[in-house]
Chains A and B, each alone.
Chain A
Amino acid sequence: MADERFISVEGIARRYAVGDHVTTIFEDLWLALPKGAFTCVIGHSGCGKTTVLNILAGLESPSEGAVIVDGHEISGPSLDRAVIFQGHALLPWKTVLGNVAYAVASRWKTASRTEIRDRAQRYIDLVGLRGSEHKRPAELSGGMKQRVGIARALSIEPKILLMDEPFSALDALTRGALQDEARRLCAEAGQTVFMITHDVDEAIYLADRIVLMTNGPGALVAEIVENPLPRDRARDALHHAAAYYPLRNHLIDFLVTRGGAFRDNLPAGYDRRRPPVTTQWPGAPIAPTPMAMATNFATR
């Protein structure tokens, strides 16, 4: 059904020509993301995660292939796909309110000043920055800047939220608090999210599905891991869940060993167009069938 392939990455490639030598970062990459799901991508540095995200955002175009979102091939950036940039990318000459209002005014071009202001203020309140709306980005801490970035992305009510390592530059406490907030906001809105992270625990806490990418060049989607933890998982109880450590070991095992050699000994029946959705690994709980999961996503 359409919701299972809400975002459909169809055979994209990205090549860079350096001199007369062409490097293929990845090619013939296929990936389907269901509507309303929180998807995290993990993979080694330089494997092409940011490139995939930029292509989804429409900021870069693939050398080959296409990305279909909600039935339409994308041809450039869109207000339907909000990006939270790694370096927060706030406009330093605008205040917090100004930055968020800029996005709101771009979305609702005919809205009145007060409407724009009220909506921007609402999202600033939502990320807990009430009282700082007239500060400029230079006066904010790293965590506060990232919050503004989140408010700006959510304020345009995008169909899809794309995040490139949004929390990796923050200290552990701030990161935890922002993860909680991102989780709450996305769950409330039923947001479709595509997020890059280097942090396995962050992926386990936030994601419904975790996409594992092999090392580049010529990176592949090795598998898509269904997160067996309950949807209402709590951060502090995470490591008490029986499924937690097996899942964590499975992911780390991929990053450390399986990921590197994956391309040289592809598993039997591996199909680039349909990367395996895994629910089974050593110590994994008896999982619901992939079909049941699919229905889950669709009805959320």
Chain B
Amino acid sequence: MIGVRARAALLSAFIFLLSMVVWHMAVHGGGAGGPALDPEYAKLMGVQMAGAKSAMPGPLDVGAKLVEHLRHPFYNNGPNDKGLGLQLLYSIGRVALGYTLALAAALPLGFLIGMSELAYKALDPFIQILKPVSPLAWMPLALYTIKDSGLSAIFVIFICSVWPMLINTAFGVASVRKEWLNVARTLEVGPWRRAITVILPAAAPTILTGMRISVGIAWLVIVAAEMLVGGTGIGYFVWNEWNNLSISNVIVAILMIGLIGMILDQMLARCQRAVTFPE
């Protein structure tokens, strides 16, 4: 009897292989469009298939492209021909910058809102209204005021990642167990020391939940933002390859975006585990 982990891994491998086979057959027409199809539908499809056949790559084409990209991830042959790794680095850099700025703003502000009812009540309407705005809606405003497309993308990342971190920090700070605050009070711990030694560690798991949500959103938004501002980055790459009708490159980019997104999330999940202590 093998463990559930091993069985899950086997099942995953099976699903992967099966989807590859289905994909391969669907693209190369072997068997998939057989006599089982409704003749009218087949006629319709047949017309379309003839046109699409050359554009839609199969798993082998995509695999070959992936290997090619992995061989030379960082080449730079001018504005419209940069390595996939280089484009990803541009995107990661923008996310890192916008996200760090958002964290630097959200932590102190979240502490303030979490600790003071007045600040909470005063700032709540702004947060409620600004939070549901799609970050891309800020783009024209950013382009107009900042006048730099790269900085505008960073601003959009900032604005989309600030809310979850702000709200979670405020919530985490406000819901620190009263007993723990009372311990600090009976020990006559001053406000700064209390914030650092009691409130911060108690709120850390909640703050990290916010950071995880934010990094996920930031990574979603950067692709769209770079499609708009152009120039560099994985979003621009996807858009550019779509214009070149190189679907293989688009699929490889999708894989890479997913992979990096997962790594970012896992890194923060690990941090979260490191600061979470059962009672």
Contact = CB atoms under 8 A, between A and B. Distances in A.
A161 to B, nearest CB: 11
A91 B180 contact: yes
Contact of A91 (B185, B188, B198): B198
A276 B202 CA distance: 46
Interface string A58-84: 110000000000000000111101110
Contact of B277 (A79, A138, A156): A138
Contacts of B187: 77, 79, 102-103, 106-107, 156
Contacts of B278: 92, 138
A83 B180 CA distance: 12
Contacts of B201: 91, 93
A59 B197 contact: no
A89 interface: yes
A106 B198 contact: no
Interface residues of B, number: 18
Nearest to B182: A59
Contacts of B182: 59, 77, 83, 85, 89
A231 B204 CA distance: 49
Contacts of A57: 186
Which of A59, A82, A92, A103 has the most C-beta atoms of chain B within 10 angstroms of its own C-beta? A92
B279 interface: yes
Q: Which secondary structure dominates where chain B touches chain A? A: helix
Contacts of A59: 182, 185-186
Interface in A91-123: 91-93, 102-103, 106-107
A76 B185 CA distance: 9
Nearest to B205: A93
Contacts of B198: 91
Which of B186, B188, B198, B279 has the most C-beta atoms of chain A within 10 angstroms of its own C-beta? B186
B275 interface: yes
Interface in B185-231: 185-189, 197-198, 201-202
B183 interface: yes
A218 interface: no
Contacts of B179: 85, 87, 89
Contacts of A166: none
Contacts of B275: 93
A137 interface: yes
A225 to B, nearest CB: 29
Which of B180, B183, B185, B275 has the most C-beta atoms of chain A within 10 angstroms of its own C-beta? B183
Which of B185, B188, B275 has the most C-beta atoms of chain A within 10 angstroms of its own C-beta? B188
A57 B202 CA distance: 23
Given A136-B277, A138-B278, A91 B186 contact: no
B191 to A, nearest CB: 13
Contacts of A137: 279
B186 A81 contact: yes
A162 to B, nearest CB: 9
A81 B186 CA distance: 7
A228 to B, nearest CB: 34
A106 B188 contact: yes
A236 B187 CA distance: 37
Contact of A89 (B183, B189, B277): B183
Nearest to A89: B179
29 contacts: A58-B185, A58-B186, A59-B182, A77-B185, A77-B187, A77-B188, A79-B186, A79-B187, A82-B186, A83-B182, A85-B179, A85-B182, A85-B183, A89-B177, A89-B180, A91-B180, A91-B198, A91-B202, A92-B277, A92-B279, A93-B275, A93-B277, A102-B187, A106-B188, A106-B189, A107-B187, A136-B277, A137-B279, A138-B278
Given A83-B186, A137-B279, A156-B187, 4 more contacts: A78-B186, A79-B187, A81-B186, A102-B187
Q: Which 10 A-B pairs have the closest CB atoms?
A: A106-B187, A89-B179, A138-B278, A92-B277, A77-B185, A77-B186, A93-B201, A93-B277, A92-B279, A83-B186
